[in-house]
Structure 1
Amino acid sequence: MITGPLALMTLLLSAITLHESPEPLGKWWLGLVFFGLFLVAELTVLHFEVRRHTVILTLADIPFLLGLCFLPPITLILVRLAVVALAQWRRKAAPVKAAFNITLMGASTACANLVVLQGGPLEASDPRSWGVLVAAVLTTILVSAAGVVGVITLVQGRFAPQELAATVVPAAVVMLFNTTIGLAVLVILQQGAAAYLLLAVLLVFFALAYRGYAGSMNQHRTLTEIYDLTAAISDTPHDGTLPDVLLGRVRRLLGAEYATLWMPAQGRHPEVLLSSRPDDKGLLDVAGSPESLRKQAVETGQTVAVSKKLGDDNLRAQLRDFGAKDAIVVPLRASSAVIGTLEVAGRLGDNLSFGQADVRLLEAVAAHAAAAVENNRLVDRLRFDAYHDALTALPNRRRISQALEEAVRVRAPGEVVAVLMFDVDGLRDVNDSLGHAAGDQLLAEVATRLRTLSPPAALVGRVGGDEFVVTLRLPNAAAALELAADLRRRLQDRMTFGSLTLDVDAAVGVSLHPEHGSDPATLIQRADVATHAAKSLAGGVQLFDLALESRSVRRLGLAGDLRRALDNGELEVYFQPKVTLRDRRLVGVECLARWEHPTHGAVQPEDFVAVAEHTGQLSRLTEVVLREGLRRARQWVDAGRPLSVAVNLSPRTLVDPAFPDRVDALLQEYGVSPDRLTLEITEDGVVDGVDRLLPTLRRLYDLGVHLSVDDFGTGYSSLSYLRRLPVHEVKVDRSFVQGMATDPGDLAIVRAVVDISRHFGLSVVAEGVESELTLELLEEIGCDIGQGFLFSRPLPYERLEAWLGAQTDAEPTPLGEVRRLRAVG
């Protein structure tokens, strides 16, 4: 619709000029000269920077103006058509596009010839002729603009007036500039052969000056673009938008169809492949070059560039097979390691291709981009580490709190937000027996199991050394308890580490929103309280109850009261008798602290002992019991009834290297023989950090003090500990003694403890003797000493004296008398 009429217009106007021109073809060699001039002008494009704007000048109007003066009309048209056709072939333009450009050039040139023909003969020194030439050149601009507007309107629709002005006005300005130069050249040429030399010198000087200017401006432009790109990258927030900013600017900077960032998988970071293209919003997961180029760049650490002038035939073949024209792939370096690649592919423009300058430019950009990407990864890693546990990669307490806030906010009516806290049993024993590496492996396995077994909507996290949390929304409390029991049961499956198999158990505490709290800290704290309570339950699962917290809160309030009680001597020491089973003789007492609080009443020993441990008052509490026990032991010796006294110790006390000296001082103060004092340490307390406790235990042993392992059988100690520890006595835990009359398993355990103790030369004390049948069984298996309610409950000193007074100094007390003594107690 447009190319055809333009072709007819060219033929018609050429026929007119051919008819009216006296010499339509002219000299052939002059036509060749102008063919060369037009070709040079076609290939020469000048760029000038004016107030941060780039002005592009083409010099084709200068030889065209001279051609209007020196060439016949038909020769001028043929020369221009030949040059345009050669340029279209070189650019490999589409046939339709090439045909339009050729016919448009012919029509505009024919119109210019007609203007010159109508203006009459031309004179180089005549201003009227200058006006004719300017009008002729302006005619070509208008015809060309009309043709281009017609094509755009036909293909894309209505052409906006502002767009037309933006196209025509700069072209008219460039035309006036070129015609001015062309007229000056025309005047110079009229001066003779000497003027040709001056013109040649002027052209050489202009070419050298422009070359220097172009190099300087190109360098300045490159530095400015790199600075702008670096500033844009630096200003990009760490919110995942860095690739968008980086790739978009790189693609525009190098005029590429594709700009791609590729980073192979590394650690917890997956593979990244993102590309920017001109016509796509956002980034794509495709690339403009084959994968082999990226891998080569990473493996060699060198830039891979492929274009008409760069690379080898093998690389060009890879690009052709992929369907790409050219590409540059630059490795991204972080320190000495290559972390990925930055690449551009497909230089925009049919006759343009990447060159060495583009390679240097992309390498400069890649140096800044590598630092930005690595910093972005570092921030991402720091953000991940801030919200995740380093060992298990599970969310930590901070992330769990955030998730709970979100769950509470979006909870549907009728739902509950459940917090299930799992406390893994036996981690300390694994660390001590197999090393911390095995303990870490155990925790990692527990994390994997919880993550796998929990519902998909649950968030699994680690909030402490051996504490894990599972939180999710559930229909009700029953569903939360059912899930907790199911996860605990499935968590108990054996765990195999190489040749070692471990049985793992856990206590589970459950708290719910809104029943038990609205903020994450309260929910987690109350789940922790429930977990501690669950440790003493057979099922191992406990739903939070306010009664559980009241005890913990009460403990906190007892700290100041305990200090005052110690200062004022308000703690009382009770004594529980220890009787030989062979002849039923009283051989000693166990000293037990009791506290009658003026407000709360009787305070459980485990409560105020825990308060003393956490408030630094344990040493004072221990000394109070020791002093009272040794004072009474001195009195009994003076009364002719020497009895030994036993005092319970906390493992924390044995860590104190000065404790043996204090014991020695107290023994000397009260004049009590060391063998009359027995210090009892729980089995767990001895096994946990046995190497740290051994120096203190050996010093006490050297003093002559008797040492006893309390609650034996409830921990996980091995026989080797009994061989290593300097102890004299083993106390069988009451849970086994009370059950031995009805449970064959408990009886077997007590029998085994007695046999083991005899093997090591230790005496055995049975706690919790409450029935005659139990007493007979203990005597049968050879237990040495008994202690329990069958003989007497713990008694204050006055009631103990009454109990002692009921004994006679004559014969050993028979069993019937033991019953009577128990009644008196």
Structure 2
Amino acid sequence: MDRERYPSLFRILPWALTLIILAVDAAVMVAHGIPGELPVGQVVLFVAAFIVAQNLLIQQDVRGLRIAFNLADVPLILALFYLDPFWILVVRAVSAVAFYAGRYLRSDVGLLKPLFNIGMSLFGAATAAAFVQYFQIGAAADPRTWLVLVGAIVSAGFTTTILISMLLFLINSWSSVVKAWSSFAMTLAGPIMASCVGLIFLVLLEAAPWAWVLIVFMLLTIVALARSYMKLRGQRHVLNELNNFTHLVAGSVRSNRLIDATLGRLREILSAESATVWVPADGRNPEIRLTSSVDDVGLTDLDPVPEALQREAIDANRPILVTPKHGSQEHRDILAGAGLRNVLLVPLRSGDEVYGCLSVADRIGGEMSHFDTADLQLLETVAAHVSIAVDNSRLIDQLRYDAYHDPLTGLPSRRRSLEALQEALSITVPGEVVAVLMFDVDSLHEINDALGHEAGDTALREFARRLQEHAPAASFIGRIDSDEFILQTRLASTEAAIETARRLREGIQGPFEVGGVSVSLSAAVGVVTHPDFAADADELLKRVDGATRQAKDAPDGVQLYHAGLESESLRRIGLAADLRRALDKGRLEVHFQPKVRLDRSLENGGAVMGAEALVRWSHPTYGTVAPEEFIPIAASTGQLGQLTDTVLDQALRRSAEWAGEDGPLPMSVNLSPRTLADAEFPGRVAALLERHGVPPERLTFEITEDDVVSGEPRLTPALDRLHEMGVRLSVDDFGAGYSSLAYLRRLPVQEIKIDLRFVQGMATDDDDKAIVEAVLGLARHFAIDVVAEGIESHQTVEQLRELHCEAGQGYYFSRPLPPDRFAAWLDGQGWTRGQARLRVV
């Protein structure tokens, strides 16, 4: 019959069964009739004996069940021998009513179960009496009498188990019936033992009436010993269970089944109807709320324990025990509202942090079976094991997460990105391509060198945020290298991929502030699509990497992969190796371009103010390699320091070689922020100046305006040290940056070089001329020298003279020349510094 279909019927049937049992008991008593003589003394004595025996309860946990039996069978043996069946039923009825009425008044257990237990006790006594009447008994010392009386006790237990099974089926399910018969089989020794004790007492009483004194003493001693034994056995059982539990937890961590294994076993150890773990949501970790209960297979998210109690255990960081005898009235009210009798709660700790709660509810064994302080201590011990295991499990999860995610941005790592790419390539969708975009963040090395790695990390996090904000829906984004990000998505075509790359690059661009300095974010974007240009993830990543490198030179910063890029990538790899060999063997050349005074003509002499040293590389295979190509290669391969030292060494050697009467020829050398960030660089400069005998004031370091502004806080210590040495600082490409001019007050700047775009545009663009005039006025205010670079015509020279610009540099005067030609040029022109003629060797 369907319990859910007829709920009202199944609420009525237990009452009907109870009333039927009581009616049968009453009918049996009427059938026996009242005997003529009332043995008042015996009735009173046996009522008292039954009440005392029922309270002498012995409990034991067996295979996850709490088995309980009392010693009521001891007086029942004596009653079956001495009393008429009617008086046996009367005595049993009076003692049962007194015992269960007391239980009913002490706790709110409802009326059904006390009535059922009273009826069941009478039915068992009636069965035992009928058994004795049928088989008849003889003298107390007759072994047949013993067998009949023991058989009567066993038959009574059998019939009462049948009644219990019927009630459990009506209230719960067949599983409860199975457990009832399992309990009967496992506790059968208890009634038999009580029967034997009763027979011993019977024989003693028949031999000597005053033996009852010894009997009572023996009975109490047996109960005390039995309880001590059960307690000792229970403690040993708990230790064994804890040992098994520890092994179970360790194995569950390895098999990833920690929670399911833990809760199920914990419920069995504590003989509880349910065990629950609750871990509130924390950061990226979602909420965990799982329960193992007697009636459910596996785990559910139905938590019977009130969250208020769980929250209190976590917030107060202390265990909570709530039973009719323990806990506050408020706790008991909360528990009653949830329909629970008793509960244990302990916090789960990770070091000093409390991250969750472990709870068990309602001890199996009925309304009078409750948890105690020993159970709470056991649960605390279990919770400690669980906490360690959860910590280990969290550590393993964290390690797994870290293995596949970038700790700085939280994005998937290179390994996870490769797996995701391979997964995407394995699925073909008609009319779509798998587009992979690689973003190489511009100027990250310069930000690190100038502002520190913390600023660089901030820039990367900001870049990742902007990329995620503007990425198409369902895109996969990962960080695969220090300054490289990858985006994988499905688009309609390769053309759509290029447009997406341009849109993303535009959305990512723009300044943001780090430590009070405005830093611009941008990136070169390489694009490759599958199946057009790559067959697997490794090949795809390799090709998009090549496209990204070429995108740095593309007008819009975006480059689609094509076959021609392979040769360009091979060229770059080859140039990096060749550059190292060229540096080691001194095959790089330094050319020199003069700086001249504009208030004097070349024909009149005395116009040379110095020279700028410019590195050149003649490759044996590729011919002349532009500095714009090999200097970035040197920076990315760690050769920039050696390259700078080489140029500086040659520049100072030529400065001393071309000295005039007033000292070595002033020389300018270009620097990058990375070189200035090297703490040892000022020391190397001092050593080279001393080696070549060049005064520090004859050396000028040129650094672009953008590099000065973006790297100011980081570069200031090095610039100050160089300034203290007497070395001059020149700001190159002045006017082309986006910066504030406040650095002109803060930094030791002695010279600015006006960007060639403004100088060359003066003749045709009034705005350019106005910018040049403004820069000259600004320089005069700060008492800073000015050099106009990129002069290519006499008209530009005349305009600069009109604006009172003192110095210039450009092809109009001379191209950069190798040392021998530059020396000849100086000698041919007859230039001297002041009135001194230059020595040319």
Shift in CA distance, 40/437, structure 1 to aligned 2, threshold 3 Å:
same
Asked if the contact 2:273–2:293 (Cα under 8 Å) also holds between the matched residues in 1, the reply is yes
Please tell me whether residue 66 in structure 1 is matched to residue 83 in structure 2: no
Per-residue deviation, 1:427 = 9.4
Structure 2 residue matching 1:710: 3-state secondary structure: strand
Alignment counterpart, residue 277 of structure 2, candidates 257, 261, 268: 261
Per-residue deviation, 1:74 = 0.9
Separation in 2, partners of 1:48, 1:623:
87
Map of 1:364-375 to 2, 5 A cutoff? Answer: 364-375=381-392
The answer for the alignment partner of 2:89 in structure 1 is 77
Asked if the contact 1:297–1:304 (Cα under 8 Å) also holds between the matched residues in 2, the reply is yes
Alignment counterpart, residue 354 of structure 1, candidates 371, 382, 393: 371
The residue identity in structure 2 corresponding to 1:200 is: V
Separation in 1, partners of 2:743, 2:589:
34
Per-residue deviation, 1:437 = 7.2
The answer for the alignment partner of 2:685 in structure 1 is 660
Structure 2 residue matching 1:657: 3-state secondary structure: helix
The residue identity in structure 1 corresponding to 2:203 is: V
Alignment counterpart, residue 39 of structure 1, candidates 40, 46, 51: 51
Asked if the contact 2:494–2:529 (Cα under 8 Å) also holds between the matched residues in 1, the reply is no
Please tell me whether residue 729 in structure 1 is matched to residue 751 in structure 2: yes
The answer for the alignment partner of 1:195 in structure 2 is 211
Alignment counterpart, residue 509 of structure 1, candidates 490, 509, 525: 525
The answer for the alignment partner of 2:787 in structure 1 is 765
Please tell me whether residue 27 in structure 1 is matched to residue 49 in structure 2: no
Map of 1:232-381 to 2, 5 A cutoff? Answer: 232-237=248-253, 241-269=257-285, 271-348=287-364, 349-381=366-398
Q: Cα deviation per residue 1:67-105 (whole Å; 9 max; x = unaligned)? A: 111111111123334444556653677767666655555
Structure number with higher relative contact order (C-alpha < 8 Å, ≥ 6 residues apart): 2
Asked if the contact 1:264–1:339 (Cα under 8 Å) also holds between the matched residues in 2, the reply is yes
Per-residue deviation, 1:529 = 5.4
Shift in CA distance, 168/452, structure 1 to aligned 2, threshold 3 Å:
same
Shift in CA distance, 97/573, structure 1 to aligned 2, threshold 3 Å:
closer
The answer for the alignment partner of 1:416 in structure 2 is 434
TM-score by length of 1: 0.81
Please tell me whether residue 604 in structure 1 is matched to residue 626 in structure 2: yes
Number of aligned residue pairs: 799
Asked if the contact 2:444–2:456 (Cα under 8 Å) also holds between the matched residues in 1, the reply is no
More moved, 544-553 vs 318-327: 544-553
Per-residue deviation, 1:185 = 1.9
The answer for the alignment partner of 2:468 in structure 1 is 451
Map of 1:66-215 to 2, 5 A cutoff? Answer: 66-84=78-96, 90=103, 105-120=121-136, 122-144=138-160, 147=163, 170=186, 173-215=189-231
Structure 1 residue matching 2:326: 3-state secondary structure: coil
Separation in 2, partners of 1:632, 1:432:
31
Separation in 1, partners of 2:288, 2:173:
40
Shift in CA distance, 420/731, structure 1 to aligned 2, threshold 3 Å:
same
Separation in 1, partners of 2:128, 2:698:
131
The residue identity in structure 1 corresponding to 2:231 is: G
Map of 1:40-55 to 2, 5 A cutoff? Answer: 40-47=52-59
Separation in 2, partners of 1:647, 1:159:
91
Per-residue deviation, 1:237 = 1.6
Separation in 1, partners of 2:517, 2:655:
50
Please tell me whether residue 751 in structure 1 is matched to residue 773 in structure 2: yes
The answer for the alignment partner of 2:241 in structure 1 is 225
TM-score by length of 2: 0.79
Structure 2 residue matching 1:193: 3-state secondary structure: coil
Asked if the contact 2:438–2:484 (Cα under 8 Å) also holds between the matched residues in 1, the reply is no
Map of 1:426-445 to 2, 5 A cutoff? Answer: 444-445=461-462
More moved, 688-697 vs 390-399: 390-399
Asked if the contact 2:436–2:544 (Cα under 8 Å) also holds between the matched residues in 1, the reply is no
Structure 1 residue matching 2:682: 3-state secondary structure: coil
Separation in 2, partners of 1:173, 1:124:
22
More moved, 795-804 vs 184-193: 795-804
Structure 2 residue matching 1:316: 3-state secondary structure: helix
The answer for the alignment partner of 2:9 in structure 1 is none
Structure 1 residue matching 2:360: 3-state secondary structure: strand
More moved, 70-79 vs 482-491: 482-491
Separation in 2, partners of 1:766, 1:660:
27
Map of 1:514-553 to 2, 5 A cutoff? Answer: 514=530, 530-531=547-548, 533-545=550-562, 550-553=567-570
Q: Cα deviation per residue 1:458-496 (whole Å; 9 max; x = unaligned)? A: 244455666554443333333333333333333446768
Per-residue deviation, 1:124 = 0.9
Separation in 1, partners of 2:439, 2:228:
74
Separation in 2, partners of 1:76, 1:365:
48
Structure 2 residue matching 1:30: 3-state secondary structure: helix
Per-residue deviation, 1:272 = 4.3
Asked if the contact 1:14–1:74 (Cα under 8 Å) also holds between the matched residues in 2, the reply is yes
Please tell me whether residue 557 in structure 1 is matched to residue 582 in structure 2: no
Shift in CA distance, 380/571, structure 1 to aligned 2, threshold 3 Å:
closer
The residue identity in structure 1 corresponding to 2:367 is: D
Separation in 1, partners of 2:773, 2:389:
71
Shift in CA distance, 489/723, structure 1 to aligned 2, threshold 3 Å:
same
The residue identity in structure 2 corresponding to 1:73 is: P
Structure 1 residue matching 2:207: 3-state secondary structure: coil
Shift in CA distance, 235/748, structure 1 to aligned 2, threshold 3 Å:
farther
Separation in 2, partners of 1:165, 1:634:
110
Separation in 2, partners of 1:612, 1:783:
36
Separation in 1, partners of 2:338, 2:62:
41
Per-residue deviation, 1:507 = 1.8
The answer for the alignment partner of 2:722 in structure 1 is 697
Shift in CA distance, 128/225, structure 1 to aligned 2, threshold 3 Å:
closer
Separation in 1, partners of 2:544, 2:314:
50
Separation in 1, partners of 2:370, 2:460:
58
Shift in CA distance, 740/379, structure 1 to aligned 2, threshold 3 Å:
farther
Asked if the contact 1:667–1:674 (Cα under 8 Å) also holds between the matched residues in 2, the reply is no
Identical columns (%): 39
Asked if the contact 1:698–1:726 (Cα under 8 Å) also holds between the matched residues in 2, the reply is yes
More moved, 99-108 vs 351-360: 99-108
Q: Cα deviation per residue 1:500-553 (whole Å; 9 max; x = unaligned)? A: 895844124133354565666765666565555545555343434565565454
Separation in 2, partners of 1:479, 1:106:
88
More moved, 467-476 vs 9-18: 9-18
Asked if the contact 1:251–1:344 (Cα under 8 Å) also holds between the matched residues in 2, the reply is yes
Per-residue deviation, 1:722 = 3.8
Asked if the contact 2:323–2:332 (Cα under 8 Å) also holds between the matched residues in 1, the reply is yes
The residue identity in structure 1 corresponding to 2:685 is: P
Q: Cα deviation per residue 1:161-188 (whole Å; 9 max; x = unaligned)? A: 9999857655655554433332222111
More moved, 348-357 vs 280-289: 280-289
Structure 2 residue matching 1:351: 3-state secondary structure: coil
Asked if the contact 2:277–2:358 (Cα under 8 Å) also holds between the matched residues in 1, the reply is yes
Separation in 1, partners of 2:511, 2:688:
46
What CA RMSD, in Å, does the superposition of the two structures yield over aligned residues?
4.7
Unaligned runs of 5+ in 1: 810-825
Asked if the contact 2:447–2:455 (Cα under 8 Å) also holds between the matched residues in 1, the reply is no
